[in-house]
Amino acid sequence: MLSSFYKNTKNQQPAKREQLYLLPLMDDKPFMDMAVKLAQLKAGRKDLSFIRLFYFKTSVDFLYVTNWVSRQFAGYRADGPTKQNWLLQQYGFKRDQLVFSNILFYFKNYRRKKLKSKFDLINLNINGVKVGDLIYDHYLRFKSKPTVDIDDPALYDLIDYTTTLCNKLEGFLKKNTFECIIVPYGAYVQWGTIVRVGVKMNVPVYTYGNSNYILQKATLNHPFHRADQYLFHDLFKKIQNDKRLPLYLERAKNVLEERLIGIIDSSLAYMRTSAYGKEQTAVFDPPADKPFAIIFSHCFFDSPHIYGDMLFPDFYEWIGFILSEAKKVPGVNFYLKLHPNGLEGNAEIIEELISMHPSPNIFILPASTNNRAILEKKPSAIFSVYGTVCHEFAYCGIPVVTAGDNPHSQYKFLYQPASIEEFSWFVKNVGNYGLPEEYHKEDIVEFFFMNYMFFSEKYHNAEMVTLKDFTTGEISFDMNLKDDELVYNANV
């Protein structure tokens, strides 16, 4: 069934001067609806004729199937009743609006030399475009692996596929002109490649898959779909003369404090329950006479490089390093808390890591351990790569140690080691350091406002209402917003 939205728009006449927008064809109706609405809003159009589409199948296993079929049926094009054609019909698009697809294209074997390390993969670039981090995260997610195996033939197939995709996209964008590209995310191979190749080819690329802005323009320095954390200070300075700013900051403070008593705000809609809510009932009772630290685990399969670079290749290596160092300081207890939203398989990986680093001062905390109960016991430090616990625990006066680029990178209310050696010092000296010298609680409130409420220089979501509902595809902001109000980094 076509939605009423598509019924009302698909037959309208195109404008005389065609400015084409390139969007993904997705088997996800809410995200598809939202992409089309945002394109129409940005273009000032109500029809579908200015939209062109690309389609990417995403799974790693698909790579083998498509290559085998391509070899058996060379020259065959998927013009029959395929999934992509079914999707076109469902959304009211014509067949010729699909202009790029990875269905049944053959990827070349480039016979690359074997990688020497995981960082060799992370830093891999193709035609001047860094894609290694995309390949790394794609491998983890679609193979459900906690870390990369540089001896896995599937990894080299994925590299070859990504190389072919980059080459084909670059050739495609040279031959075709688009006003812009709009995609939900900048992560993984299927999204990140077109974002980065598009930016390289000087095509404006916008992401919308984050709830903390309406649209963000991708750049060479920040091709990710998370709001660019390195713009927070500059953007905050631009609104210093806004008379409403004190009210915004007071609202940010209130929402943050509400979060700490278990209220889920719109920015945490992906959480099934609050980590501070009364549903979390596991008992936490560490010895009172011993310093202790909490390691807040991340989902092993979920984009370790979504904010940029890390000190470690991935979350598995990060936790493994902490545990190996923790064994050297028996006078400190380390509690490794399971991620409350981790995908299936995370608990088993945590148990594997603990078994690899057995020590009487290392313990597992269940995901149901209430963060308020942890705060009440006053940990000597917590460790997280980029979790929300960083600003939440810092606000409560707990030392926080990160491990790479993260949303708080411009702020000094937490520790951000610049090397593994420095990171090691923080692990082995838990209990011997307090808050950073330049810790200021008001900086955490500023961060909270910039990360969750600042949507653009001229538009703020201080009430934190759900402006983009990713479960329904609905958007609920003013449809008369101008470009510099729609785009998070429009005037930077």
pLDDT tens-digit profile, the chain (492 residues):
334 333 433 333 334 457 999 999 999 999 999 999 999 999 999 999 999 999 987 655 555 544 544 444 333 344 333 788 899 999 999 999 999 988 766 777 776 789 999 999 999 999 999 999 999 999 999 899 999 999 998 899 899 999 999 999 999 999 999 999 999 999 999 999 999 999 999 999 999 999 999 999 999 999 999 999 999 999 999 999 999 999 999 999 999 999 999 887 766 665 667 888 777 677 788 999 999 999 999 999 999 999 999 999 999 999 999 999 999 999 999 999 999 888 889 999 999 999 999 999 999 999 999 999 999 999 999 999 999 999 999 999 999 999 999 999 999 999 999 999 999 999 999 999 999 999 999 999 999 999 999 999 888 888 888 889 999 999 988 888 888 889 999 887
Q: Residue 74's pLDDT is what? A: 39
Q: Residue 2's pLDDT is what? A: 33
Q: Name which of 189, 196, 221 is nearest 121 in CA terms.
A: 189
* Parallel/antiparallel/unpaired status of strands 292-296 and 333-337: parallel
Spell out the domains of the chain, with CATH numbers in brackets.
Answer: 4-229+465-486 (no CATH), 246-446 (3.40.50.2000)
Structure token pair of residue 416 = 């951000």
Q: Name which of 3, 36, 5 is nearest 22 in CA terms.
A: 36
| End-to-end alpha carbon distance in the chain | 42
Q: Residue 59's pLDDT is what? A: 58
The single-letter DSSP state of residue 95 is G
Question: What is the SS3 string spanning 268-326?
Answer: HCCCCCCCCCCCCCECCCCCCCCCEEEEECCCCCCCCCCCCCECCCCHHHHHHHHHHHH
Q: Residue 163's pLDDT is what? A: 93
Distance, CA of 189 to CA of 58 (rounded, Å): 8
CB of 382 closer than 8 Å to CB of 391: no
Distance, CA of 357 to CA of 326 (rounded, Å): 9
Q: To which residue do tokens 């790569």 refer? A: 385
CB of 135 closer than 8 Å to CB of 162: yes
Q: Beta-carbon neighbour count of residue 119 at 10 Å? A: 15
Q: Name which of 359, 101, 373 is nearest 261 in CA terms.
A: 373
Note the Cα 428 to chain centre separation in Å: 30
CB of 347 closer than 8 Å to CB of 443: no
